[in-house]
Amino acid sequence: MTGTIKCKLCHSNMVPNGWDIIICACGEISIDGVNKKIICQKSQSNYVEIDDNGNAILNSSLEAICETSPPTQKELLDMFDDAIKAIDNLPPDAMMTYVTQYDLVSSLKVISGIFKAFQAL
């Protein structure tokens, strides 16, 4: 994944990597680094991919999915499993680094989504 994804609603800049799920501040745009997808909650027009010089990338190589409904319980659990697999596949020296608050909040958002999906049943 290359470039930076900018949410047009909250102006968050997110740099994709190959192992995290990154969510903008307002929750409209998510980047699934494992599966190389951009997920938007309302509209694909709510984000732009920009290069290192701040120019918009017109033909993004990333697949974009616009969710019209909240993710299902299975989709949330799959996201959680994918994140666990990605962490398990990190090199040993990366496994010894500190967990940041950003890592923690990303995990908590997925866990919260799972509980909300169970509550809706």
Q: pLDDT tens digits, residue range 40-64?
A: 767 778 888 888 787 887 766 666 6
The number of folded domains in the chain is 1
The DSSP-derived string for 31-85 is EETTTTEEEESS-GGGEEEE-TTS-B-SS-SSEEEE-SSPPPHHHHHHHHHHHHH
Structural domain containing residue 81: 4-119
Nearest to 111 by CA among 64, 59, 76: 76
Confidence (pLDDT) at 22: 81
Q: φ and ψ at 95, to 5 degrees? A: -70, -15
Entry pTM: 0.50
